[in-house]
Structure formats: structure tokens, C-alpha cells
Amino acid sequence: MLDDYLAEKRSLSHLTFRENCPLASYTTFGIGGAADYLVMPETEEALINLIGYLRRQEIRFFLCGNGSNLLFDDKGYRGVVILTKKLRSFRIVDTVMEAAAGASLIAVAAAAAHASLSGLEFASSIPGTVGGALFMNAGAHGGEMKDVVLSSRYLDAEGRIREITEHSFSYRSSLFQENGGIVLSCRLGLHYGRPDEILCKISENRKKREDTQPVKMKSAGSVFRRTESCIPAKLIDEAGLKGLSVGDAAVSEKHAGFIVNRGNATAADVLSLIEKIRERILLQYGKELVCEIRYIPER
Ligand SMILES: Cc1cc2nc3c(=O)[nH]c(=O)nc-3n(C[C@H](O)[C@H](O)[C@H](O)COP(=O)(O)OP(=O)(O)OC[C@H]3O[C@@H](n4cnc5c(N)ncnc54)[C@H](O)[C@@H]3O)c2cc1C
């Protein structure tokens, strides 16, 4: 039945899909077995209809942006992985950036800079989509999504479209992690600035990142959440765990908060390495590290 639905929608150019699709190439970690289906809606309407259909049929699904904060299981995903990347439109109206959920944060930040709009310099090298960034309240260099989001539209659990201005943002967290809402689009409030200053800030941020993070290696960014009393990368470094590895998964030599895939790392390697790190930090410092990256089990 799902096959028929997808084939019909594909023929109407509402979506594209692949069956038994390896997820590794859809994540920045380069890890993950095959999903039963990987579906890419071409329009917001197609996304909404697809989710309605999957909910009615009680078919399990998972929403994936750029896969830059995810660890899919080696056995893949039983159900449908929905990729939002084709919903990538955005436009600027005065000082407001209106962006669809699948728009690249890097592209949106670059467009804002070219329009002399300041506010998204912090986001200019976070490799996520707008939807993933809202869900995670992504942030860097002293800025977070919560500083710029004016409003967002999302699909709620009953299939209604809602528009909100209050998102219960906190560190790497948002309302969407509580209510399962699916971000459709958002409005970001920016302000005019001097183009040279905006571009200078962006290249400064990018350089800082390149100097301190393994940006050329496969990873999912910081593995553990920071708290007021705990900077995981600092503790991991002090504990001498840089370079610690399981299979091809290793604690980055450049930034102890990152686990990198040196080639053929599996999800099992990464999970086992995470456990080793957590055990050592608990033993040595009495601190419980909490994962920021999201592990998605097979079922
Ligand atoms: C090299 C590197 C550097 C990074 N640096 C930073 C950094 O500086 N700061 C930072 O905060 N993060 C950083 N990250 C992590 C990551 O880029 C962010 O968390 C980003 O916001 C994730 O966006 P995404 O589109 O890739 O989401 P995904 O990884 O695809 O998904 C993350 C979560 O968001 C949910 N989601 C995705 N789209 C939607 C939607 N439309 N509606 C509802 N839920 C959705 C998914 O279901 C999933 O639970 C980094 C990652 C890498 C690889």
C-alpha cells in the first residue's frame, strides 16, 4: 500500500523516494544501514500529506534534515525516513528572513550577509537545515536560534498547522522536542549592518572553527551536551582521552568533544566509544555526560 502511495505521488512529481536506501550518505557521520524507504517531499503540501498518510496507516517515520546531529543504527531504520532537503526555499522581506524547514542554515546565513543583514553570523558554519536548527536550538559563537526566531509554522500531532512565537527554547532544546511538532518554516528577525563587518565576523567564526574543530572529518559535531558545571570537551581532554578509539570511531585529536569516523566506523563503534568516555569521566570526575547527538534505533 505504501508502495502504491509513493509511486502515485512520485508520478505527480510531489516527491521522490528510494527503497532500501543506505542512510550513511545522508548523515555527516557517514554511518547508518538502510532505511526501508527514504522519501524526499518536493513541496510543503506533499510533506503534510505524506505525514498524514503515514500516521493514518501507523507507519513509523523519522524526519531528517541534513543528518548532522544523527547516528543511525547499523541495521538502518524500519519505516520511512523523510528528508526535508528539497524544501529549501527562502526569501528576505525587509529585515525578515522567511525560510522553509529544509533550507540550509549556511545558505540562509550567507544570503542574509549578502543583503547586509546581521544576526545570523553565528550560524554561518553550522551544517544543519533550518528545521533541524530550530528543533535543536542550534548555536555557536555566543548566538543561538532563539536569538533570531520570530515565529515558526509547524505541523502538530493532530495534523494541524500551527503558528507560534513562543518556542520554550533552552540550551540545545526547543518545544519541538517535547511536542513532536514538525517544523514547516520560520521567520528570522535580522537587522541591517555593515556588509564588511558581517562578512568579517563570518570569516572570523569560520577560521575559529577550522582551527579548533575537525571540520574536514566525518562527525556529528559535539557528542555531549555542555552544562553550566561541565564542559565535556575539557574533561575528556584532561582525562587524556583524545585519540581513544573503537574500530574506526575515535575521539578527535583536534577537539575532544568530537568523535570522528576515520573511515569505516559503525554505529556500534561510536556507541561503544561513547560508553567508554562516559565511564571514564564518571569515574574520574563524578560527572554524567549526556549525549547531544541523537541515536536513532533500527525499530
Ligand atoms: C562539523 C559539525 C559542526 C557542528 N557545529 C555545531 C554548532 O556549532 N552548534 C550546534 O548547535 N550544532 C552543531 N552541529 C550539530 C548540527 O549541525 C546541529 O544540531 C543542526 O541544527 C542539526 O540540523 P540538521 O538539519 O542536520 O538536523 P538532523 O541532524 O537531520 O536532525 C536533528 C534532529 O532534528 C529533527 N528535525 C530535523 N528537521 C526537523 C523539522 N523540520 N521539524 C522537526 N524536527 C526536525 C530530527 O528529527 C532530529 O531529531 C555540528 C555538526 C557538525 C557535523
Q: Note the pLDDT tens digit of each residue in 120-173.
A: 999 999 999 999 999 999 999 999 999 999 999 999 999 999 999 999 999 999
Q: How far is the CA of 294 from the centre of ligand 1 (A)?
A: 9
Using the mean position of ligand 1's atoms as its centre, give its distance from the Cα of residue 27 in Å: 10
Q: At residue 118, does pLDDT exceed 90?
A: yes
The residue whose CB lies within 8 Å of the most ligand 1 atoms, and thus the one to mutate among 126, 171, 213, is 126
133 grid coordinates: 536548527
Retrieve residue 41's grid coordinates. 517531499
Which whole number is the average pLDDT over 182-206? 96
Q: Which residues contact 78 (CB under 8 A, 6 or more apart)?
A: 36, 60, 298, 299
- What ranges do the domains of the chain cover? 2-83, 90-212, 232-296
CATH topology of domain 90-212: 3.30.465
Identical fold for domains 2-83 and 90-212, yes or no, is no
Amino acid of residue 78 = R
Residues in contact with ligand 1 by the CB-under-6-Å rule are 28, 63-70, 84, 101, 126-129, 131-133, 135-136, 138-140, 176, 182-183, 215, 219-221, 294
Q: Which CATH architecture has domain 2-83?
A: 2-Layer Sandwich (3.30)
**Cα–ligand 1 centroid distance for 256 (angstroms):** 19
**Which residue's CA is minimally distant from atom 2 of ligand 1?**
221
Half-sphere exposure of 55 (CA within 13 A, CB side): 13
Task: Kindly report the average pLDDT of the chain as a whole number.
Answer: 96
**Could you tell me the distance, in angstroms and rounded to a whole number, from the CA of residue 251 to the centre of ligand 1?**
20
* H helix runs in 153-194, sequence order: 175-179
The three grid cell numbers given for residue 138, joined into one nine-digit string: 542550534
Active site residues: 172, 222, 292
Q: Ligand 1 atom 11: the closest Cα is on which residue?
A: 138
Separation of CA 69 and ligand 1 centre (Å): 5
The model's pLDDT over 25-39, given as tens digits with 9 standing for 90+, comes to 999 999 999 999 999
According to DSSP, the residues that pair with 170 across neighbouring strands are 173
Write the pLDDT tens digit of every residue in 265-298: 999 999 999 999 999 999 999 999 999 999 999 9
Give the ligand 1 atom nearest the CA of 64.
30
The model's pLDDT over 48-77, given as tens digits with 9 standing for 90+, comes to: 999 999 999 999 999 999 999 999 999 999
Residue 72 is predicted with a pLDDT of 98
* Mutation to probe ligand 1, out of 135, 169, 184, 254 (largest number of atoms < 8 A from CB): 135
Within a 10 A sphere around the Cβ of 7, how many other Cβ atoms? 11
pLDDT mean over 90-109: 98
Please give the pLDDT value at position 12. Answer: 83
pLDDT at 228: 81
Cα 218 to Cα 168: distance, rounded to the nearest angstrom: 31
Domain 232-296 part of CATH 2.60.320.10:
no
pLDDT of 229 > 90? The answer is no
